[in-house]
């Protein structure tokens, strides 16, 4: 069953790129004791994700923090090298933590997978966002197929 508001974030290990290379990071480390603006995209370097989705969070990072967000997290079913390069190319810097869900473990655990096989992408994550408070989903926004409306930072700001 798809994760719902009020549900605890599943325990999963993801990867982030560091100056020493890929590093494991757990969902407990990401969410415990924090308010997190989390969003997931179907693929790094893809058109909507690069032109709109990630930039919406980079451009609104200060506004999100002003509304009580401790960290902003972007996830995709890509590897840590790709996520690191994408974050660098978009100027994410320290504003957005770029996470790789390389095997789709978190996408599966949330029941928010997307079958992109028809486009040569394999299994990916749906486009979605949520606000989590101390590891519990407070507000969840899942996009319809091919849409980009409710998972933007601008929409999230109206929910905080």
Reading phi first (left if > 0) and then psi (alpha if -120 to 50, else beta), residue 30 is in alpha
138 class by beta-carbon count within 10 Å (0-12 exposed, 13-18 middle, 19+ buried): middle
Burial (CB < 10 A; 0-12, 13-18, 19+), residue 83, is buried
Residue 101 sits at φ, ψ, to 5 deg, of: -110, 60
Catalytic residue, candidates 30, 49, 114, 153:
49
- Per the annotation, the verdict on 49 as an active-site residue is yes
Catalytic residues: 49
């Amino acid at each position: 069953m798809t994760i719902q508001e009020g549900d605890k974030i599943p325990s999963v290990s993801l990867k982030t790129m560091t100056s020493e290379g890929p590093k494991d990071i757990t969902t407990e480390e990401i969410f415990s004791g924090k308010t997190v603006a989390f969003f997931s995209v179907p693929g790094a370097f893809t058109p909507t994700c690069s032109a709109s989705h990630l930039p919406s969070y980079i451009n609104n990072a200060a506004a999100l923090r002003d509304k009580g967000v401790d960290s902003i997290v972007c996830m995709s079913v890509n590897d840590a090298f790709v996520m690191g390069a994408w974050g660098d190319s978009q100027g994410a810097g320290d504003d957005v933590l770029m996470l790789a869900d390389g095997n789709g473990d978190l996408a599966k655990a949330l029941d928010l997978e997307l079958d992109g096989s028809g486009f040569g992408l394999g299994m990916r994550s749906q486009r979605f966002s949520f606000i989590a408070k101390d590891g519990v989903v407070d507000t969840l926004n899942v996009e319809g197929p091919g849409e980009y409306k409710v998972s933007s930072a601008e929409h999230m700001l109206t929910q905080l």
